[in-house]
Amino acid sequence: MTKKNSSKLLISSSAKKTIRDSILLAKELNTGIEISRLPLYKDENLTEERVIEQLKNDLAGFENRITVHAMFSDVNVAGGDCLLREISRKRCQQSFDIAKEIGADTVLFHTGNKGTRHYGSQEQFKTKYIKFWKEFIKQFEETGIIAVVENVFEKTPNYCLELFSQINSPNYKLALDTGHVNLYAKETKVIDWVKAYGKNLYHMHIHNNFRENDDHANLSNGTLDFYEIFNCLKETQASPSFVFEMYSEEDIRNSYKFFNEINN
């Protein structure tokens, strides 16, 4: 499904207390919406069909772009426990199915890699992860939906770049979370990741923090220099989508104003 507005600027549905209210805010600002915190993960009585029905009702009349943040709480498609892997893969499948049904064009995933350094653990994780995605990505290729993977605990861009190279699909692309770099990859800067990803950078979660907690604060409230970041994006000619991944309307509005000021 092609939306009338293919804007690369979106807000997270976590901006307000309900997804419906966040969609109304996106309409007002004329941005897209990234559906986050899919409610299946916290209510065992909910069905996938019910979530799809509710989202379709909430999105009725919404003509701008839709993306989905896949379920991520405790999800690890390449973990060591076979039963937990199975459940995690089910959550990924459900996230894709929901995205397809509501007309989303992009689904964002975490790697699930927490950086465990037991003997051989990283290679084992990588092997399982790539094997899963080489099969799973076929559904994206068949539908035209894009899968993006974002950094969380990764210390450098290298790991996600290697996954991108190994999976080698036009529908598997790179996402960058600025707040996660600032908090978990303290020996690098966001611009290091932007330069490393280059034109392969497809999607960005932009938010700020003070390197102590994952605050998801507005763009001007933290230690990140977004003037530097956006200048670097221009220099590398990267053209990703931007999601204001913040949890209050005030932060969204502040960031929306700030973003427009420094990008005009």
Length of the chain (residues): 264
H/E segment holding residue 88: helix 82-102
Which among 8, 1, 11, 64 has a CA at the least distance from the CA of 34? 11
Return the biggest CA–CA distance within the chain: 53
- Residues whose CB falls within 8 Å of the CB of residue 67, separated by 6 or more in sequence, listed in order: 10, 32, 33, 34, 35, 99, 104, 105, 106, 107, 108, 203, 241, 243
**Alpha carbon distance 29, 152 (integer Å):** 28
9-262 maps to which CATH number? 3.20.20.150
Cβ atoms 146, 174 nearer than 8 A: no
Cβ atoms 110, 154 nearer than 8 A: no
What is the DSSP annotation of 126-156? Answer: HHHHHHHHHHHHHHHHHHTPEEEEE-SS-SS
- Compute the average pLDDT of residues 169-184: 98
Burial class (CB in 10 A: 0-12, 13-18, 19+), 52: middle
Residue-averaged pLDDT of the chain = 95
Per-residue model confidence (pLDDT) at position 6: 53
Per-residue model confidence (pLDDT) at position 247: 96
Which among 70, 64, 138 has a CA at the least distance from the CA of 107? 70
- Residues whose CB falls within 8 Å of the CB of residue 261, separated by 6 or more in sequence, listed in order: none
Task: Give the model confidence (pLDDT) of 47-103 as tens digits.
Answer: 999 999 999 999 999 999 999 999 999 999 999 899 999 999 999 999 999 999 999
Percent of the chain residues past pLDDT 70, beyond the cut: 97
Instruction: Check: pTM over 0.85? Answer yes or no.
Output: yes
* Residue-range domain boundaries for the chain: 9-262
